[in-house]
Chain A
């Protein structure tokens, strides 16, 4: 257990449990997680999925209804927020409006009783780390959103926490700045080597920054894995749907062929790579197909056939909506390269959907 920065064991939080309250809302239900030291770990999920509550339980702002938070192997149930070796970057930054930027950053060292000279030196270092060396004398209100964000980071990092908790820190920034801060945050994390636990509802952000992602919904962790794992091999339909765009098609297991598996659909059949779990012949399953992994060919190619219903040009790609014989619609994306993409197929054309066996993902119903 020594390599774990944070460990959550059966962590549960129920709100509204006070006497007389009829409604108990379970925000977090039995979450088990191990976060490695030095890892950039993301809690990803839609709003209300319990990710922020999980973060606040780690910080000590909420008390678990059941279960335990361990930080560096130490149980935290008796440790109040101000004694935990973690620091948080808040969604609204929570900079102290009555203090200057330098005083904000110095807050942690000051309450811990660090000597003045040492403190001043560290504050300057922290501000240089976030590339804001010259704003120390200003008030937070005089800074832009992005600058406030960096000050909040400096104020947390100066304490050299075992774990840095970040609650949707880029949520308030505009798209361009957000993209830039994503890269910067990732570099910063690699530079300081501190474990980051990052909460976001933005799947692109999670994929771009994380070493590992825990996808949450309804208070539970559905899947933990690297960005490649959760995108390429989603464990549940929810994960496949939440991260990226996915076509879901009902199908039946037809027959095994080597390490492949034939699946029949209304309107044709597809070959998938044999999934890990055993599937019975005739079993009903759901196929998850990423639009960018589907290729289109003229209708005489065999396989899964359909008719083009809609063509939308979106710059890098062209989006085709293909209607299958069953009436189901499948979205396919072709990159606009040379002869491919735009203009290759028109509305009303009969086409065949092609998908490499490794890209046909079979979900157990």
Chain B
């Protein structure tokens, strides 16, 4: 009854919410095509000059390359570590398992600023020079819990008797892992990899503290805000990155849910 009476209220709320969330992104994309170095309305006209200028912005492209490289490498390491942790926690009983889980998930709740400062102090105490490597270590720490949770959820979704069946049929532990566990968990592992990649790619706080001379894209973009005439190029690149990120996340989500109904049917 209530719903019938106030159909417009819900719709209005939803429209405002969507506007609040997506308007900044729309503005970003719009200004990437605006024929003026000033980020003000009214719009001047359509141009592709910022995209062309992007090709000459070598510093920025280098930062982009660093970020891509860093994202791929740190995600590979995080996926490996997180998957192993997920298998350990979902399939084995061991002492202090609760503590292990809590410690492994901690980076989810520690503010990145705190994590960045802490790692900075650690590295300078031990004498490790700041570089992309130190940023990578920070990103692995951030990503491991995401990977662990995504893969663990998948492992929880299929019965351990599948692994027993494989061993019963003559497969050793490693062969069981290779032929049964990993293929079934593969979509989740891929999804976890993409999630940690996007996390690493747009991470700012930890990168800011741990970066050396070679910098990542978010840190570089931040440093460019002081120069108004370079702003349109930054905006243009941000727009491109935004579109790519959304595409990656959609892919990750699709991978995560793919195949799930089939396993569910076998279970019952």
Contacts and interface: CB of A to CB of B under 8 A. Distances in A.
Given A94-B162, A96-B180, A59 B265 contact: no
Contacts of B267: 92
Interface string B159-188: 101101111111110010001100110000
Contact of B265 (A18, A141, A155): A141
Contacts of B183: 98
Contacts of A156: 168-169
A90 B164 contact: yes
Interface string A15-46: 00010000000000000000000000000000
Given A97-B184, A97-B262, A141-B266, A108 B161 contact: no
Interface in A76-111: 80-83, 86-88, 90-98, 107-108, 111
B263 interface: yes
A82 B168 contact: yes
A271 to B, nearest CB: 53
B158 interface: yes
B149 to A, nearest CB: 22
Nearest to A172: B268
Given A141-B265, A141-B266, A97 B158 contact: yes
A87 B159 contact: no
Contact of B169 (A91, A98, A108, A139): A108
Question: In this complex, which of A83, A90, A93, A97 has the most chain B Cβ atoms within 10 angstroms of its Cβ?
Answer: A97
A61 interface: yes
B169 A87 contact: yes
B161 A90 contact: yes
Nearest to B163: A94
Interface of chain B, main secondary structure: helix
A140 interface: yes
A362 B34 CA distance: 101
A155 B170 CA distance: 12
A137 interface: no
A87 B171 contact: no
Given A94-B161, A94-B162, A98-B184, A88 B168 contact: yes
A50 to B, nearest CB: 18
Question: In this complex, which of A80, A93, A140, A141 has the most chain B Cβ atoms within 10 angstroms of its Cβ?
Answer: A141
Question: In this complex, which of A59, A61, A91 has the most chain B Cβ atoms within 10 angstroms of its Cβ?
Answer: A61
Interface string A102-132: 0000011001100000000000000000000
Question: In this complex, which of A88, A95, A112 has the most chain B Cβ atoms within 10 angstroms of its Cβ?
Answer: A88
Given A94-B161, A97-B158, A111-B175, A87 B262 contact: no
How many chain A residues sit at the interface, stated as a range, is 20 to 34
A156 B259 CA distance: 25
B175 A94 contact: no
How many chain B residues sit at the interface, stated as a range, is 20 to 34
Contact of B170 (A18, A96, A112, A140): A112
Nearest to A93: B266
Contacts of A93: 266
A63 interface: no
Contacts of B259: 97-98
Interface in A132-165: 139-141, 148, 155-156, 159
A97 B263 contact: yes
A91 B165 CA distance: 11
Question: In this complex, which of A93, A94, A108 has the most chain B Cβ atoms within 10 angstroms of its Cβ?
Answer: A94
A96 B162 contact: yes
A98 B166 CA distance: 13
Nearest to B162: A94
A87 B168 CA distance: 6
Given A61-B164, A88-B165, A90-B161, A95 B175 contact: no
Nearest to B265: A141
A90 B170 CA distance: 15
A139 to B, nearest CB: 7
B164 A94 contact: yes
Question: In this complex, which of B93, B165, B175, B262 has the most chain A Cβ atoms within 10 angstroms of its Cβ?
Answer: B165
Contacts of A86: 168
Nearest to B166: A107
B184 to A, nearest CB: 5
Contacts of A107: 166, 169, 171, 179
Nearest to B185: A98
A156 B165 CA distance: 9
A15 B238 CA distance: 58
A90 B169 CA distance: 12
Given A87-B168, A90-B165, A111 B159 contact: no
Closest 4 CB pairs of A and B: A94-B165, A108-B169, A94-B161, A141-B265
Given A82-B170, A111-B175, A141-B265, 18 more contacts: A59-B164, A59-B168, A61-B164, A81-B168, A82-B169, A83-B170, A88-B168, A90-B165, A91-B161, A92-B159, A96-B165, A107-B166, A107-B169, A108-B170, A140-B266, A155-B169, A156-B168, A159-B169
26 contacts: A18-B93, A61-B164, A80-B167, A81-B164, A81-B167, A82-B169, A87-B168, A88-B164, A88-B168, A90-B165, A91-B161, A92-B161, A95-B165, A96-B162, A96-B165, A96-B166, A97-B266, A98-B184, A98-B259, A108-B169, A111-B169, A112-B170, A139-B262, A140-B266, A141-B263, A156-B169
Interface of A: 18, 59, 61, 80-83, 86-88, 90-98, 107-108, 111-112, 139-141, 148, 155-156, 159
